[in-house]
Amino acid sequence: MDLRRLEYFLSVAKHLSITAAAADLGLAQPTLTKSIRLLEQELGVQLFQRLPRGVELTDFGRSLLRHAEAMHVQVQDALNEIEGLRGGTIGVVTIGAGPSWLRRHLPLAVARTLSRNPGLKVRIDGGYDDALLRALRHGEVDFVVSELPSPDRAIDLEVTALTSDSLGVCCREEHPLAGEQNIPLSVLLQFPWIMPSRRTRAQRRLRALFIAANLAPPELSVETESMAFLLHMLRDSDALTFTASTALRSGEGEGLTILDVPLLHTAREAGIVTRKDGWLSPAAMLIVDELKTICAADPHN
């Protein structure tokens, strides 16, 4: 199978438009259309359903998409490995990082690595659990530092635990519930909640704990991908959130506290996530090794 045709297929599947994919690839539309038809003839199936505007994947197309994405990442890994072997520790490292890692450990690890390897280039993409892992699987980042996914969500991934932390209900120090003991879950529902989107593992965990107590999970008043906004809003309102206790160690966490809600106190592990059987460049390994050293000295993040 022609790898170039697979790349063309991936572009059309991404845009769901022959016209948009052709523009993205820098091809003439008839050339791209012919390539897709040749791929369909080779496989003996129809990959796209033509619509009045754009296209949609058929069941055959969705099946090929899963495998083509994996092949694309593997080929890119091979090319990166060859380039890495030629270039040594010089290159670009792209890291997907959860909110707590953007504030602690990762900045120090990158700073130390750059001081010893000034030719190295680093890109940091911040985000939350599912989005980071999706970027990792698509080959958009070299590795991820975040809360570790559950085993059922990490079948195709390698995880290395580096830190542990506790999760709890967070609010401002002047909150009406601050200082109260053994706060029941039902009381928490009387206040507004602000959280990241429901794609995060912390969000799923919070909902599960309420459901286990036969209570409806909190209705979110505000959803935000910005941890800075979230923490600032907590200081300026009676809103609650569910987050790691280390969030309070940053400057943005000043004036916040963790409430005593025994049913919602839980632990989490965080660390490095890579693609199973994937390849990390020597440059990426330098940052990974530095992270391991820093976390061994301070295993909380």
Q: Which two tokens stand for residue 7?
A: 């790349």
Say yes or no: do domains 81-163+269-297 and 164-268 share a fold. Answer: yes
Residue 182, C-beta contacts closer than 8 angstroms, at least 6 positions apart: 260, 262
pLDDT digits 0-9 by tens, 38-67: 888 888 999 998 888 888 999 998 888 877
For domain 164-268, give the CATH number. Answer: 3.40.190.290
Q: Using CA atoms, how far apart are residues 42 and 59, in angstroms rounded to an integer?
A: 17
pLDDT per residue as tens digits for the range 100-155:
899 889 999 999 999 998 888 999 999 888 889 989 988 889 999 999 988 888 89
The structural domains of the chain, with segments of one domain joined by +, span 3-65, 81-163+269-297, 164-268
Per-residue pLDDT band at 25 (split at 50, 70, 90): confident
pLDDT at 7 over 90: no
Q: Which residue has the higher pLDDT, 8 or 77?
A: 8
The Cα–Cα gap between 295 and 22 comes to 46
pTM of the model: 0.69
CATH class of the region 3-65: mainly alpha
Written as one letter, the residue type at 120 is L
- CB neighbour list of residue 170: distance below 8 Å, 6 or more residues apart: 234, 240, 241, 242, 243, 247, 248, 256, 257, 258, 259
Fold of 81-163+269-297: D-Maltodextrin-Binding Protein; domain 2 (3.40.190)
